[in-house]
Amino acid sequence: MNTETEILVKALNGFFYIYLPKQKCFSKNTVDSYKAAFKLFLDYMLEQNNSSLSQMSLDDFNKDNLAGFMDWLMAVRQNSPATCNQRLMAFRSFAKYLGIRDFALTSVYANICKTPTKKTAARVVDFLSEEALKTLLMQPDTSNRTGIRNQCFMCLMYDTAARCQELLDIRLKDLFLNGNAPFVYLTGKGNKTRAVPLMKVTVNHLQRYLKLFHPDYGSRMDDYLFYTTFHGERHPMSRDTVQVFMKNYGRAAREICPDIPERVHPHQLRHTRAMHLYCGGMTLSILSEFLGHASEETTRVYAYADTEMKRKAIEKAIPKAIAFDENPIWDTSDDEILRKLAGL
């Protein structure tokens, strides 16, 4: 391994194991997605330039290679423009880390920032109508423990507009159900904590759930709120578990309510609550804080969605007589070991 490759490997290792998780407090899922982007880039460099990691240096992380990589992602990997742009964010973050680590490397950051992003269509907010939401929440069979747990989870997710992982990370000590203003602490991206108020109906669901799943509530406050039991031992409930039961409830609800979309997933409840709050009069600044967004710009997607809803309603109301008629016109290779050393 030459000196330049050694510098690259050490930089990648520090980026993945120190900078992202410990300094930036990125979640494991985010770190894993960044690793996946770099693995794909190494695959691209090997396929297109016949360059393995053992032959690479920091100079290979440049605008031209990354632009080619973005094109390759779309053409060969069939990635969407939005996914390509997410991959690019990983490299920009790496370049920023290099500049912090060594001021002389700020030129790498400047060069990578010149890589153009892919144009994406306006983001569509995937949310449920009130009727669809009500139908979905009624699907769990509350005559058994699992149904009570799942219904409680979905009601809490809607009420708080939490990200799925934020709900799974809740511990009993984060709940404050007594008094006139019950709330829950949620820990979001960047390890930032926010207090979110709870509706009375949600508190009722939680109290019923706690009696069944946490009869010793008050004495084991560090326990996770939601858990599964395997061989008599409690384990934090996983995202996969949530995705499976929501998919099943979505399928059942669709037979009753045609408004239920083909694909039902946890994040829909967050979008749904956000849209209902915005349409109900909550300002973007308050909604942004409620959702735990770092920037109000991220929240503007709900304003766009509301405007689009109004536009479609107006279009439906336009009489056909005045409608505009428009005609269509290392056997482990050296490279494998280097990847492992780099944390990939």
* 141-163 residue pLDDT tens: 999 999 999 999 999 999 998 99
AA letter at 4: E
* Same domain, residue pair 159 and 198: yes
Mean pLDDT of the chain: 84
**Which pLDDT value is given to residue 312?**
54
* 96-106 residue pLDDT tens: 898 888 877 77
* Same domain, residue pair 85 and 37: yes
Neighbour order of strands in the sheet with 183-187? 175-176, 183-187, 193-197
* 220-245 residue pLDDT tens: 899 999 999 988 899 999 999 999 99
CATH code, domain with 11 = 1.10.150
The gap from C-alpha 329 to its chain's centroid, in whole angstroms, comes to 40
Backbone angles phi, psi at 23, to 5 degrees: -95, -40
Looking at the structure of the chain, the number of domains it has is: 2
Among 261, 287, 319, the domain-final residue is: 261
Residue of higher predicted confidence among 167 and 333: 167
pLDDT at position 252 over 70: yes
Instruction: Give the highest mean pLDDT range of 73-82, 163-172, 212-221.
Output: 163-172
CA distance 220 to 233: 15
Q: Domain range for residue 172?
A: 135-261
**Which pLDDT value is given to residue 316?**
52
Flag the least confident range among 19-28, 72-81, 105-114, 125-134.
105-114
CATH code, domain with 230 = 1.10.443.10
CA distance 106 to 79: 29
* Same domain, residue pair 139 and 256: yes
Among 261, 291, 324, the domain-final residue is: 261
